[in-house]
Amino acid sequence: MKKPFDLHADYQPESFVFNKAYQGLAQDAIARYPQERQQSAVMPLLDLAQRQVAEEGAKATPVHGGWIPRAAMDHIAEVLDMPKVKVYEVASFYSMYNTAPVGQHLVQFCTTTPCWLCGSADIVNACKDHLGIGMGETTKDGKFSLMEVECLGACVNAPMVQINDDYYEDLTPASMVEVLETLAQGLKPEIGSQTGRKASMSAAGPTTLKEEAKKAKVV
């Protein structure tokens, strides 16, 4: 479920500029494109704006996560000399760009068929019950938001969620709650499979090339 995109909402800040560090990163991103194609940097610049807001949000009270205010999109349009509406179009199309405020940890549930068959509905319910919020909502302390997305490309390790930049896979309701509790304590949970399997190898362990698997220390 994509969050609402409201350019006139009262949470929109008056202004946005890249700080010194992000300005440097933005210039590096722009320089990767040929002179007459530099508007293509719109996607990396939107990502940088979202990351800067996330860094600021980690120090705010209550905390918040990364999102892209209208002022940031307008600033990017100005930097890249392109119509504002084109920046709005890109930002509002992709689910990785948050165009409204979100919690510090944005929990994105894949509920597409493979994850659903492996129990994503139980994972969603475990989170809702544990945090006391519904889909598209944010906890009062600003720490968590819940969002539903389509396949995140980790179907072999279903059910899974993406939280900010990280994937948590092979989840059960209990391991999902453990991940949330670890994040709430300000710690970093182990990313990837929560059952300890390596990458996307068979859940039952190697079924062939067993000696090779031992040599590669994946069993």
Task: Please give the structure tokens belonging to residue 36.
Answer: 């007459």
Q: Is 112 one of the binding residues for ligand FES (CB under 6 A)?
A: yes
Rounded CA gap, 140 and 151, in Å?
28
Task: Please give the structure tokens belonging to residue 213.
Answer: 């698997």
Q: Nearest approach, Cβ of 72 to ligand FES (angstroms)?
A: 29
CA distances from 137 to 2, 105, 118, 166, 184 (A): 12, 12, 24, 20, 17
Q: What are phi and psi of 87, to 5 degrees?
A: -70, -40
Closer to ligand FES by CB, 158 or 183: give it.
Answer: 158
Q: Is 41 one of the binding residues for ligand FES (CB under 6 A)?
A: no
Q: Is 73 one of the binding residues for ligand FES (CB under 6 A)?
A: no
**Of 11-19, 22-30, 109-117, 140-148, which part binds ligand FES (CB under 6 A)?**
109-117
Single out the residue of 133, 151, 177, 201 in contact with ligand FES (rule: CB under 6 A). Answer: 151
Q: Is 154 one of the binding residues for ligand FES (CB under 6 A)?
A: yes
Task: Please give the structure tokens belonging to residue 187.
Answer: 């710690």
By the criterion CB under 6 A, which residues form the site for ligand FES? Answer: 110, 112, 114-115, 151-155, 158, 160
